[in-house]
Structure 1
Amino acid sequence: MRTVTIVGASLAGLYAARELRAQGFDGRLVIVGAEPHHPYDRPPLSKDFLLGRADENRLALADPEETAALDAEWLLGVRARGLDTRGRTVLLGDGGTVSTDGVVIATGAAARRLPGDSLAGVHTLRTLDDARALRADLTRGPRRVVVIGGGFIGAETASSCARLGHAVTVVEAAPLPLVPQLGARMAAVCAALHRRGGVELVTGTGVAALRGTATVTGVDLTDGRTLPADVVIVGIGAVPHTSWLTGSALALHDGVLCDDGCVTALPQVVAVGDVARAGGTRAEHWTSATEQPRVAVTNLLAGRTLTTARPVPYFWSDQYGCRIQFAGRYREGDTVHVTEGEIADDGAPGASGFLARYERDGRTVAVLGVDRPRAFLRARRALQRTEGRPDERRRVAPAVL
């Protein structure tokens, strides 16, 4: 394998490049990125960057010395438009091509959009350019902000907007925010955090339309109400960047389908990060983007699936001054017990936070910590020992791109 091309220049793509060099690949390394920026950290965009506490230099994931040490060709501001598996070629949006022996797909996902969201004042928050535009809009004096979607991005952005002094309303179609991830009881705790933070939470109703001609003026809800708005933030999930792979030999279904080793139907094509549906699951979390490349690169260089991994899922979120950490796999019907700390009378976390355990068939399958980092770390490690599946080794017949 003389040339490897990484399509996607964000977190997962950078970690894949690091792994390639760390695992001994000394050939030509090409990194294609749709954005004009070198890899940057996305989690601060909804928090410290939006609040003005972190400038763009602090977002960089690699310093110039490390970037140079990777000895890669960076093709930034260029989208991939196709993968010719027969011709071993990545087709680029500017008309160029890259001949390659191996491919790492790390194209991530794009923010899901609403009809009419081209109005001025309507934002998504996925990229650095998105965050720049939103931050500029929020500096124009007190704004009436409506956040559509009570997931992690929506909650973090609402928290930051409230902290900046804006009047904020969160609209969530479900009865409670984060029910699929945390279950009803713990989702109610997150709902209480919104109220404690001075944010109005509207649940159980969807968005019918956005109002305005050139600039947004309001949000029409499906229950007939209209919320006045100067700024609207759409946080209703993400769609994996796979359209450029249409017509290739790869299987696509809400991501690029891979085995537990991140290997696609073609062993010399692997996928990592938000775009990868590895072992039947697509995880849009920072930890997946940093852990998957090690296994994926090992298998890519071998030309077959040598090692697989299915770590215990983990994510965190910062909302209203609280650090929320979750590890494990929640399923509807699991019982939840607060084992340390307490939930306050207003339904939000107590002053010292809490640790909760999710149980199924007599065993702990997930843990949630709010402002209990040490206790959560211990519980997470114990969960990894019991619920994590160690790397498995198996032989698969090699194939060529």
Structure 2
Amino acid sequence: MTQTDNRRSWIASANGHPDFPLQNLPLGIFSPSNASPRGGIAIGDAIFDLKVASDAGLFSGEAAEAARSACSDSLNAFFALGASARRALRAQLQALLAEGSSAQARLEAMGQALLPSASTCRLHLPAKVGDYTDFYVGIHHANNVGRLFRPDNPLLPNYKYVPIGYHGRASTVCVSGTPVRRPIGQTMPPGNEVPNFGPSKRLDYELELGIWIGQGNEMGESIAIADAQQHIAGYCLLNDWSARDVQAWEYQPLGPFLAKNFGTTVSPWVVTAEALEPFRAAQPARTEGDPQPLPYLLDEADQAKGAFDIELEVLILTKAMREQGLAPHRLALSNTLNMYWTVAQMVAHHSVGGCKLQPGDLFGSGTLSGPQPEAFGSLLESTVGGKQAISLPSGEQRTFLEDGDEVILRARCQREGYPSIGFGECRGILLAAK
């Protein structure tokens, strides 16, 4: 769509909606009252039921196949169809839901059967995650964390040559609203000669962009960077919860393990590349003296339009704040333009050695902090490793998360002359260790 697309929907709540206008139409898995999970589209305050619409014969051609593939309890089959089917479904959905649609009277007559209120539905994980990889492409976060441990040399030599990542745990990826329990593990407090065992005392969040993989590749084959965008099904918000004290003891020499595998929270709606097209941007220029990416990671079109201008926000709501009736408190406001590597570069690098990517695989961008303290995407950075507490409106202070704290991630794209596009919320409340 063009950047001047101001079409309105006959669904009144979609017009002016901060997240889900007609120009967004993200996909997810939901279950209406007394019904099984199935695919749906967020539109205003409602959910467009793809199963009801498909059964009613509202789609034709490639869009009909796409809608049928999304009628089960996961979007994996839909992701596997690729970009052409996704675009066909989007085009027919926008035609059906736009003001003046020839099908408006019929659709309105179907009422709640087709458009249940989102507030009455349960949202589920969008896809069955086969593999989860967390990258480290937020350069300000990498610099900030590096400075805590290596003040004179915060970035290791490989950072500007290779998109750093590690393999996470797919089994504990959960949808927004799922409580996360404080993990137990080994830690080595300063001055100790042997580790302690018990609940993590330095529990943190990480503000990330999530990337859902669509069509994959065969084992032994690689995805060229020029083709990488065709393998991306969509985007979400991602909180890669982190036990910093456990991580400090276990991460050398192989990287995060128990410090990260206890929980990763994602937002329920998959925002497509088509919805984000008006908010594409040039990849920010590298600092003078930085190396040029190696040829397999360098594509002119990707450098010109491979980045996104998405505002990212992290908020906290403590138990005391809830009891006092206080609103969530903003901890950081950042942007995806703080990514040192593009999503296409992540896909190309992940597959270059022949790794098989599959529909429903999930990538995390890594923490997307900005250059200023108000844009730091983790408490590790905001509190300088726990040395400087953050004051909250309730009178409380935080260096790291306490039991009962709820972390809320939000994201929104805004541009003059174009409706706001949002991701919905990614929420998780921290439970006490068992």
Q: What TM-score, normalized by structure 1, do the two folds share?
A: 0.29
How high is the TM-score relative to the length of structure 2?
Answer: 0.27
By relative contact order (CA 8 Å, sep 6+), the higher-ranking structure is 2
Select the structure that is richer in strand: 1
